[in-house]
């Protein structure tokens, strides 16, 4: 005989204290829900707005670090299952501290917003651009062939270098970025941390070589780390894997 769980009790929307949720949206400059307050459509819009607020960076509107890490984990799993190449680019704004020190933090914010917009407009709609730190960004590029990775990174770098960013008092700034990239090892169950570390190493190399450049990990196929090699035959889902004969 099939046992069904009892239906959860209905919640009276009139009993919910939603003032803090509405204040959060107002403080973030987000639009408040339309429609009849506490109606089903209004409550759904409120939940959607709160989810959007928790996943986005307030300054740029890009995906924030938490959402980036979740997306990166999903992409690691997808690459291991499909074998399709995927590129992770880490980038930051060169000499950003000098911009803040010379022109103020307001100017720094304008620079961050302008760079974020330029990067997001340069990559494909399917690519994910995130702000992961103060002046640090990351881009996940699914299904990105290894032979075009450097061209993509160079296109992003060039787009930012061509910006003229107004920062008040008639001043227009030009900035550059450094980028480092690594491909996820195909058919290997890697980890987000290992993938990020590989891209970060290339970013450090770009800075050490003079900044305003893109460096990608060379010889992708031969640079699988010992940790990733150990994961090669690890089951993607141990709970469902069947014993081999």
Q: Tell me the catalytic residues.
A: 135
Helices (H), the chain: 19-27, 40-55, 65-82, 96-103, 105-122, 149-161, 192-208, 226-231
CA 127 distance to own-chain centroid:
9
Whose CA is closest to 198, among 229, 220, 230? 220
Report the C-alpha gap between 13 and 38 in whole angstroms: 6
Q: From its phi and psi, is residue 181 left (phi > 0), alpha (psi between -120 and 50) or beta?
A: beta
Q: Which residue has the tokens 């330029």?
A: 118
CA 161 distance to own-chain centroid:
21
């Amino acid at each position: 005989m099939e046992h069904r769980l009892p239906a959860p009790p209905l919640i009276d929307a009139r009993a919910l204290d939603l003032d803090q949720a509405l204040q959060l949206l107002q403080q973030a400059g987000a639009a408040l829900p339309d429609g009849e307050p506490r109606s089903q459509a209004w409550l759904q819009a409120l939940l959607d707005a709160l989810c959007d607020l928790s996943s986005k960076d307030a300054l740029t509107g890009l995906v924030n670090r938490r959402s980036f890490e979740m997306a990166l984990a999903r992409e690691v799993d997808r690459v291991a299952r499909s074998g399709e190449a995927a590129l992770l680019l880490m980038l930051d704004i060169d000499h950003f501290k000098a911009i803040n020190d010379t022109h103020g933090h307001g100017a720094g914010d304008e620079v961050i917003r302008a760079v974020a917009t330029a990067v997001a407009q340069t990559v494909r709609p399917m690519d994910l651009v995130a702000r992961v730190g103060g002046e640090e960004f990351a881009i996940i590029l699914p299904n990105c062939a290894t032979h075009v990775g450097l061209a993509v990174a160079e296109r992003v770098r060039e787009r930012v270098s061509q910006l003229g960013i107004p920062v008040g008092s008639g001043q227009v700034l030009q900035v550059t970025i450094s980028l480092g990239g690594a491909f996820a090892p195909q058919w290997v169950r890697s980890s987000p941390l290992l993938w990020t570390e590989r891209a970060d190493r290339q970013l450090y190399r770009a800075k050490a070589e003079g900044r305003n450049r893109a460096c990608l990990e060379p010889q992708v196929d031969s640079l699988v780390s010992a940790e990733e090699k150990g994961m090669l035959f690890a089951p993607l889902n141990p709970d469902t894997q069947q014993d081999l004969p």
